[in-house]
Amino acid sequence: MKKIDVNNDLLRSLVALASVIEARDPYTGGHIWRVSRYSVLLGEQYGLNKNYLFVLELGALVDDLGKVGVSDGILNKQGSLSEQEFQVVRQHPVVGGEIGQNHPLYPLVRYSILEHHERVDGTGYPGRLDGDSITIWGKITSIADTFDALTSPRPYRPALPVDRALSILSEGKGKQFDAHLVDLFLELAKKDKLTHILGHAGENRSLLSCPVCGPLIVPRPDIQEGEILQCPSCTGRFRIHKAGDTFQLEFTGSKSGIYVPRPDEGLIQSVLKRKRRTVTL
C-alpha cells in the first residue's frame, strides 16, 4: 500500500492542464467533466471505496492529456480518418503518459490515461491488454469515455440518441468492455442517473452551440447576463442572454481571429471541494 499526499496546488495544476487541452477542441466542451461524473457513478455502483472513487474521478478528468500531441487537422476532420491518421490518434495514451509522468500526482491517474482505450478482448491500444490485466480504473473510464463520445456531437456526425449509445455499449460486452460493468451502467441509465450529466459541462451548466458554426461553447459557472462569450472554432463573439434554465447567444458581428484556451475554473473548484488529503492505493 502506498500513501500519496494530494496538495491543492498540484491538483489544481493537473486539472487546469487537462481543461486547457480540452478547450482547444471545439467539439469536446465539457467532455472531461462528463466522463468523470459517469465514471464516479459507475464506480459507486460497482462498490469502490472513497479512495478509489477519487482516483477514478481524477483519472477520468485527465485521460485525454495526450491529445495535445494530435494535430487540429486530425482532431477536427469532417470525414473518416485514414489509417495513418488513426495511428496518430492511437498514440495519445502514450503521449499522455509521457506528459503526465513527471507530475507528482501521476501515480493516481496513470491507469486511466494509459488504459482507457484498452479492450477486454485484447485488441485495444496502446498495450493490447486483456481481461484482468486492465485495471478497474481503465475499464470504467473506457465505458464512460465511449458513452460520452457517442452522445456528444463530433465534426463527422451529430450526437447519437442515448438508447443507441447504450445499445452500442451492450453490443461491446465481453469484447470492448467488461460485461458486468456495462450491466451496471445500463442500470444507472434505467434509474435515470445519467440525464443530468448529458449536455452539460458542470453541475447546472448547460452546453451552448455556436449559432454561426455549430461547435460547443462552455459558459463559466458565474456567467452574467450581457457578458461576451467566444466560440473556440470560428472565434465569433456573442452576447449572452438568460433564457429559462439556459442562455441564448446574440452574435455581435465580430470575430477576433484568436481564441485563447483557458483553465475551467468552475471545474477546478468542484474538484478541489471533493479532494482527499491523502490517497492510499
- Separation CA 228–CA 6 (nearest Å): 35
Q: Which of 116, 110, 93, 115 is nearest to 4 (CA)?
A: 110
CB distance 127 to 114 below 8 Å: yes
**Which amino acid type is present at position 155?**
P
CB distance 64 to 18 below 8 Å: yes
pLDDT exceeds cutoff 80 at 1: no
pLDDT exceeds cutoff 90 at 167: yes
Given 67, 190, 255, 275, the catalytic residue? 67
pTM for the full model?
Answer: 0.93
- Active-site residue flag, 67: yes
Say whether the peptide bond before residue 126 is cis (omega within 30 degrees of 0): yes
pLDDT band for position 34 (cuts 50, 70, 90): very high
pLDDT in tens, 43-91: 999 999 999 999 999 999 999 999 989 888 888 787 788 899 989 999 9
Distance of alpha carbon 225 from its chain centroid, rounded?
Answer: 28
Scan for cell 466560440, then name that residue.
Answer: 231
Q: What is the mean pLDDT of residues 129-152?
A: 96
pLDDT exceeds cutoff 90 at 126: yes
Question: Which triple of cell numbers denotes residue 235?
Answer: 472565434
pLDDT exceeds cutoff 90 at 175: yes
Distances (CA, A) of 120 to 36, 98, 199: 21, 24, 29
- Separation CA 159–CA 254 (nearest Å): 29
CB distance 169 to 230 below 8 Å: no
- Separation CA 257–CA 51 (nearest Å): 44
How many CA atoms lie less than 13 Å away from 171 in the CB half-sphere? 8
Residue-level pLDDT at 214 = 84
Percent of residues, the chain, with pLDDT higher than 70: 100
